């Protein structure tokens, strides 16, 4: 009888442990396993490709042939105007940098006017797959950027990465497995991001410190966060006038694989849209579905409070490669560097200002997915497992215009009270047509 009770107890304990494991692991893997083509099957025409880029003249089209090609160093186009780099199509012309030994980018274009890249796939650069800097009138069209390994911290940061550019168009592109962002635009103005797919990245689409930006008709899924709009200190300009509309943002529940210490590592898995110290951001007519945390909204003060005392983490290999290039105008991806800039940049506004929500479609997704990360578990337990449309750090703009919801009456806001260690965390419901949270207007929230 004792043996029976002993083995019965072990059996019950085993089922309990299996249940706990299932609870955390079930449907955890949202990325797809893909077979990698062996690198030895890629053709080595690197010398010929380098000549195409180095000898290109203004007004030319650099035609990339169909096939799979491998490279050891970056392809660079510098100081050219009215140039198109054109392949035979996505997955027809494939450029692999899996064996890269020099440079941080796969392709780098700089200091030009009217540059178009279209019709090819680029893979596995050490740092960023395609970077464009100081370009006026830039088009990325029908490109695929990807890292071919499973999502992990050793992958490169940005798939498509225009920074300090004007008049940028990104359309009909596919972005996979950036350890920061699949499609990223930084410190740029007059930007359109449309009709793209971003999946299996930490951030699917990320707009940082840019102005007059339209993000629409995109599909963002199976990322850690679908779309991010943020404003950080110490850069050439700030973020303003961003419109995020008519996108499909769903099932963004991938685990966070950004290198520890990088800003993106703080992104909470399960987030549909992240707004970080955003200014004049309009979020409307989107399908924001099956994301446990539909909107995460922080001021810089909230994020600074959370990260300022984190222990130093050694710089990841992918970030070391980026730093070797010596690009003076770039700010590090790392939290410690950005926090240091915050102490110096006295003109920076750390608050969220005038973010609006209108006519979006919402659903909340898997409860299990809320529990993937420490922060996710904390805010979930603090709200007793209840759902909310907006998860807000509780740091109001002193001028009173933090954000405005023109959604339905049952629209819910989780007020996290980050600056007081979540002590006053509570769930609130907007009761009028346009509920604005700020120090001067808290009466509109029940």
- The pLDDT of residue 305: 75
Candidate from 124-133, 398-407, 437-446 with smallest mean pLDDT: 437-446
Q: Has residue 17 got a pLDDT over 80?
A: no
- The pLDDT of residue 430: 65
Q: Residue 71: inside a domain, yes or no?
A: no
Q: Residue 340: inside a domain, yes or no?
A: yes
Q: Has residue 334 got a pLDDT over 70?
A: yes
Q: Residue 98: inside a domain, yes or no?
A: no
Residue 285: domain span:
160-444
Q: Residue 21: inside a domain, yes or no?
A: no
Report the number of distinct structural domains present in the chain.
Answer: 1
Structure tokens at 285: 């007519």
Q: Residue 16: inside a domain, yes or no?
A: no
H or E segment to which residue 336 belongs: helix 335-344
Q: What is the mean pLDDT of the chain?
A: 86
Query: What is the full DSSP assignment across 234-293?
Result: SSSS--EEEEEES-EEE---PPP-SPTTBGGGGPPTTEEEEEES-EEEEEES-EEES-SE
* Mean pLDDT, residues 218-223: 98
Distance CA(264)–CA(333), nearest Å, equals 8
Angle at 185 between CA 236 and CA 255, to 5 degrees: 120
Q: Residue 116: inside a domain, yes or no?
A: no
Percent of the chain with pLDDT over 90: 61
Residue 98: helix, strand or coil by DSSP?
A: coil
Q: Are 213 and 234 in contact (CB under 8 A)?
A: no
* Model confidence, pTM: 0.89
Q: Residue 214: inside a domain, yes or no?
A: yes
Q: Has residue 178 got a pLDDT over 50?
A: yes
Q: Has residue 185 got a pLDDT over 70?
A: yes
Q: Has residue 54 got a pLDDT over 90?
A: yes
Distance CA(179)–CA(171), nearest Å, equals 21
Q: Residue 145: inside a domain, yes or no?
A: no
Between residues 28 and 83, the one the model is more confident about: 83
Percent of the chain with pLDDT over 70: 84
- Residues 154-176: tens digit of each pLDDT: 999 999 999 999 999 999 999 99
Between residues 364 and 428, the one the model is more confident about: 364
Between residues 217 and 342, the one the model is more confident about: 217
């Amino acid at each position: 009888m004792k043996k029976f009770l002993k083995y019965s107890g072990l059996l019950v304990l085993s089922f309990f442990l299996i249940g706990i494991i299932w609870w955390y692991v079930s449907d955890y893997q949202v990325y797809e396993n893909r077979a990698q083509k062996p690198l030895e099957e890629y053709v080595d025409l690197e010398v010929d490709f380098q000549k195409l880029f180095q000898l290109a003249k203004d007004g030319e089209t650099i035609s990339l042939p169909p096939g799979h090609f491998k490279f050891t160093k970056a392809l660079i186009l510098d100081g050219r105007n009215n140039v198109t780099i054109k392949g035979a199509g996505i997955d027809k012309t494939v450029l692999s940098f899996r064996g890269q030994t020099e440079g941080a980018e796969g392709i780098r274009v700089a200091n030009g006017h009217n540059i178009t890249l279209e019709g090819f796939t680029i893979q596995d650069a050490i740092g960023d797959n395609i970077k464009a800097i100081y370009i006026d009138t830039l088009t990325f069209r029908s490109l695929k950027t990807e890292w071919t390994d499973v999502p992990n911290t050793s992958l490169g940061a940005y798939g498509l990465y225009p920074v300090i550019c004007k008049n940028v168009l990104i359309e009909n592109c596919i972005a996979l497995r950036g350890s920061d962002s699949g499609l990223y635009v930084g410190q740029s103005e007059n930007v359109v991001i449309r009709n793209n797919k971003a999946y299996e990245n930490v951030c699917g689409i990320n707009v940082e410190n840019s102005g007059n930006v339209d993000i629409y008709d995109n599909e963002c899924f199976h990322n850690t966060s679908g779309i991010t709009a943020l404003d950080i200190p110490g850069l050439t300009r700030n973020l303003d006038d961003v419109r995020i509309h008519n996108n499909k943002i769903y099932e963004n529940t991938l685990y966070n694989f950004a290198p520890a210490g990088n800003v993106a590592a703080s992104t909470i898995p399960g987030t549909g849209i992240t707004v970080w110290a955003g200014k004049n951001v309009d979020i409307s007519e989107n399908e924001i579905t099956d994301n446990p945390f539909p909107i995460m909204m922080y001021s810089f003060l909230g994020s600074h409070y959370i990260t300022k005392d984190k222990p130093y983490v050694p710089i990841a290999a992918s970030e070391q490669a980026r730093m070797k290039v010596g690009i003076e105008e770039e700010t590090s991806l790392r939290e410690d560097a950005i926090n240091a800039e915050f102490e110096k940049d006295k003109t920076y506004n750390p608050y969220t200002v005038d973010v609006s929500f209108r006519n979006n479609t919402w659903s909340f997704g898997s409860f299990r997915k809320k529990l993937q990360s420490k922060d996710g578990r904390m805010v979930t337990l603090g709200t007793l497992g209840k759902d909310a449309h907006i998860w807000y750090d509780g740091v109001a703009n002193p001028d009173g215009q933090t954000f405005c919801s023109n959604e339905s009456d049952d629209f819910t806001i989780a007020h996290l009270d980050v600056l007081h260690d979540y002590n006053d965390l509570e769930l609130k419901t907007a009761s009028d047509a346009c509920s604005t949270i700020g120090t001067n207007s808290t009466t509109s929230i029940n």
